[in-house]
């Protein structure tokens, strides 16, 4: 093999592998199926199922043309071989050309078969048909439900484009290069089956742990499938799943530095002085997660704890606006990630007013005595009303 042929072969093999598995550099350059055919594929956010039906079909066609593309490239790089004339080439090149051509023709025939009756024969459509049961009367209604839930911003999504994991309110989805695996949350159970630690990661300077989870469905028409998530996202996945996640007895999930810090952070804050809300002030939702009440208040206490030593901490005049978990994540995000031993003793700015504080200044919010009295009276009145209703029901029955 001459130098030009060898150079083309090596370059084409590298290009083909990168085009199929799509590293970050190719995605940044726009050399992906999604970007090259974006005008025909449409929007994933609007029509998730229809988008991936088109995407997988185009992917099969484009990937099947790669061997034929190599033959065409060799015709240009090595004209002395006369590869353009099929009757003059060697038997090995003739077989390669015929196999490449048959592969391309077979992929076209497959796409035409899939597209019959509005893509009824497509593998994704067949997967949807396995979920046709009340309240869904057809696979189109199942697809519409998945499209609607995918548009919501509270879904869990992670992974590379070739192995994305998406968890919505009702569905567990795994999007691969050629297919979408799906299972209803109400019909499936998830089990952690493997845990692999990688000391080197392209996205992080610290070691990462990849968890493999098996999704099994009680629906016999749904095949089980595996999903992979980073251990740092495991807690978020567990919150989104309705059913509890089971652990295999031989799998150990190691906590990350951030999770260990949050546990220590909560324990330390619970030892601090509490803050009592003034009478008439109501507790608002946390502005970080908007899911739990804001239960922390920054009060400068470190100077009193340190005696005569002057502190860099400042008084924060913000009302309670953050929950303990969100404030702990903010505290950790402002630290030197290479020196976790200094995190607890560090000072960070308030996420709202930028006043410096330390972990000693964080106080848990407690309801005032007046508020407790009001709530006690409300509960007493409710209990008395329920007793009165029961007594009236008994006397009327007599």
Sequential pLDDT tens for the chain (398 residues)? 567 778 888 999 999 998 898 888 888 888 899 999 989 898 899 899 999 999 999 999 999 999 999 988 888 877 777 777 777 778 888 899 899 999 999 999 999 999 988 888 999 999 999 988 877 778 889 999 999 999 988 899 998 878 899 999 999 999 999 999 999 998 899 999 988 877 666 666 566 788 899 999 999 999 999 999 988 788 888 888 987 788 887 777 766 677 778 888 888 888 888 888 887 778 888 888 887 888 899 998 876 545 555 678 888 888 889 999 899 989 988 888 778 778 888 889 998 888 899 989 999 988 655 554 554 554 555 555 665 555 555 555 44
| pLDDT at 48 (0 to 100) | 93
**Three-state SS sequence of the chain:** CCHHHHHHHHHHHHHHHHHHHCCHHHHHHCCCHHHHCHHHHCCCCCCHHHHHHHHHHHHHHHHHCHHHHHHHHHHHHCHHHCCCCHHHCCHHHHHHHHHHHHHHHHHHHHHHHHHHHHHCCCHHHHHHHCCCCCCCCCHHHHHHHHHHHHCCCCCEEECCCCEEEEECCCEEEEEECCCEEEEEHHHEEEEEEEEEEECCCCCCCCCEEEEEEEEEECCCCCCCEEEEEEHHHHHHHHHHCCCCEEECCCCCCCCCHHHHHHHHHHHHHHHCCCEECCCCCCCCECCCCCCCECCEEECCCHHHHHCCCCCCCCCCCCCCCECHHHHHHHHHHCCCCCCHHHCCCCCEECCCCCCEECHHHEEEEECCHHHHHHHHHHHHHHHHHHHHHHHHHHHHHC
Entry pTM: 0.67
Q: Model confidence over 152-206: pLDDT tens digits?
A: 888 999 988 788 999 999 999 999 999 999 999 988 999 999 888 776 666 665 6
Provide CATH code, domain 156-254: 2.30.29
pLDDT tens digits along 324-357: 989 998 998 888 877 877 888 888 999 888 889 9
């Amino acid at each position: 093999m001459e130098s030009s042929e060898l150079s083309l072969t090596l370059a084409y093999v590298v290009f083909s592998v990168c085009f199929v598995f799509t590293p970050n550099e190719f995605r940044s350059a726009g050399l992906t199926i999604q970007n090259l055919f974006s005008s025909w594929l449409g929007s994933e956010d609007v029509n998730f199922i229809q988008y991936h039906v088109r995407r997988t079909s185009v992917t099969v066609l484009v990937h099947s043309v790669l061997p034929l593309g190599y033959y065409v490239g060799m015709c240009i790089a090595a004209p002395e071989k006369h590869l353009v004339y099929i009757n003059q080439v060697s038997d090995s090149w003739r077989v390669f050309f015929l196999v490449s051509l048959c592969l391309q023709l077979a992929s076209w025939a497959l796409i035409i078969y899939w597209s019959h009756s509005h893509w009824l024969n497509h593998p994704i459509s067949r997967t949807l048909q396995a979920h046709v049961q009340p309240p869904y009367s057809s696979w189109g209604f199942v697809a519409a439900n998945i499209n609607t839930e995918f548009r919501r911003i509270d879904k869990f999504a992670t992974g590379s484009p070739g192995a994305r994991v998406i968890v919505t309110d009702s569905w567990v989805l795994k999007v691969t290069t050629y297919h979408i695996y799906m299972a209803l949350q109400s019909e499936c159970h998830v089990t952690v089956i493997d845990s692999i630690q990688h000391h080197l990661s392209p996205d992080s300077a610290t070691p990462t742990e990849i968890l493999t989870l098996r999704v099994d469905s009680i629906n016999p028409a749904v095949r089980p499938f595996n999903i992979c998530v980073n251990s740092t996202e495991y807690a978020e996945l567990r919150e989104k799943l309705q059913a509890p996640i089971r652990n295999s007895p031989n799998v150990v999930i190691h906590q990350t530095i951030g999770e260990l810090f949050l546990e220590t952070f909560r324990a330390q804050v619970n030892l601090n002085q509490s803050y009592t809300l003034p009478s008439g002030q109501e507790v608002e939702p946390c502005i970080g997660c908007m899911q739990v009440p804001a239960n922390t208040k920054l009060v400068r206490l470190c100077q009193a704890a340190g005696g005569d030593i002057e502190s860099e901490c400042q008084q924060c005049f913000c009302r309670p606006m953050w929950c303990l978990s969100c404030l702990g994540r903010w505290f950790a995000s402002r630290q030197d990630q290479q020196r976790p031993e200094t995190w607890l003793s560090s000072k960070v700015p308030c996420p709202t007013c930028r006043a410096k504080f330390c972990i000693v200044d964080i106080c848990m919010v407690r309801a005032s005595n007046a508020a407790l009295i009001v709530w006690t009276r409300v509960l007493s009145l409710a209990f008395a009303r329920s007793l009165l209703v029961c007594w009236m029901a008994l006397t009327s029955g007599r």
